[in-house]
Amino acid sequence: MDSESTVTTCYRHPKVECHVRCTRCERYICPDCMREAAVGHQCPECVKEGARSMRQARTLVGGRVSAVPVVTYVLIAVNLLAYLAEVLRPEVVDRFAMVGAGLLGPDGEHYLWMDPHPAGFTPEGVAAGEWYRLLTGAFLHLPPTGGTFGILHIVMNMVALWNLGRLVEPMLGRVHYLALYLLSALGGSVLVLLLAPGDAVVGASGAVFGVGAAYYVMARRVGADMGPVNRFLAGLLVWLVISAVFTSWEGHLGGLLAGGAVALVFAHVPRGRHRVLVQAAACAALLVLLAVLALAKAAALGSGTF
């Protein structure tokens, strides 16, 4: 009779007899519910609660640590899918390339900007209100039939992004890294709009240059041996300068400047409760600056007068 009264069962499985208590809540748990702990075993609920209360590891800039560079892989996949769309539908390039100001002629050909434009010509580009081109152009590349460079354009950019992204993304964290990449791409497009609005520009090189600038800034911030870093970046620079001959040095420079500025803020804002807010405010300020510059240039080109 006494032995029956002392029988204990698992709190999650009342029909299972057990004699082990959770070291945290002291409830009885069966072998199926036991979770290894530093001392003894814990129940599933206590393990989940401990995981929630455990302080998340952070990168040097305050982002969440991610061992797998998921954002880099996704960005490469998006670029490859966009390239496949170009191959299947060549008009995708004309529709989404970074063009500051151009004209579509009655014959379907693309012409340089003229204001006022001749009769029968349709304005196109950012100055015609196609603001999406500031970002979409950074996910397109020269088609396979794009002259001597052709398919090498996307190959070179994706190889560079693969090598750099796997280094920089773990340093920054996924959110910080994505923000830097997109702002670098936008910075490159805005400089194209300012300096060469009549050019049709495609390529991820501006964004990749921004990631390269971030790698340099972060390496210096952590006190890394700059010899290998400089050699790596020198090779990358040669690699990307070749593509600049066939695409746009303005986009490369704009991406480099934007990415470097963002990385400097990320790396040198002091730790504290408001670090993430300061970083976000700096990114927002850069975004506003780029938007103002783009709006001013579009207005100067005659936006709204068509």
| Span 108-138, pLDDT tens digits | 677 676 667 777 777 888 988 899 999 999 9
Output the pLDDT for position 183.
Answer: 98
List the structure tokens of 194: 């300012």
Query: Whole-prediction pTM value?
Result: 0.78
Q: How many whole angstroms separate alpha carbon 121 and alpha carbon 107?
A: 9
Q: How many whole angstroms separate alpha carbon 189 and alpha carbon 126?
A: 10
**What are 58-76's pLDDT values in tens digits?**
777 766 777 789 999 999 9
List the structure tokens of 263: 């990385």
Name the CA dihedral angle for 170, 172, 173, 176, rounded to a multiple of 10 degrees: -150
> What are the two backbone dihedrals, phi and then psi, of residue 271, each rounded to the nearest 5 degrees?
-65, 150
Residues ≥6 apart with Cβ < 8 Å to 295: none
**What are 248-274's pLDDT values in tens digits?**
788 998 999 999 999 999 998 888 778
Residue 53 has pLDDT above 70, yes or no: no
- What pLDDT band is residue 283 in, cutting at 50, 70 and 90? very high
Q: How many whole angstroms separate alpha carbon 65 and alpha carbon 264?
A: 19
User: What is the average per-residue pLDDT within 37-43?
Assistant: 80
Which residue intervals of the chain bear CATH 1.20.1540.10?
70-300
Please provide the CATH number assigned to the domain covering 70-300: 1.20.1540.10
Question: Of the ranges 86-95, 175-184, 272-281, which is most confident?
Answer: 175-184
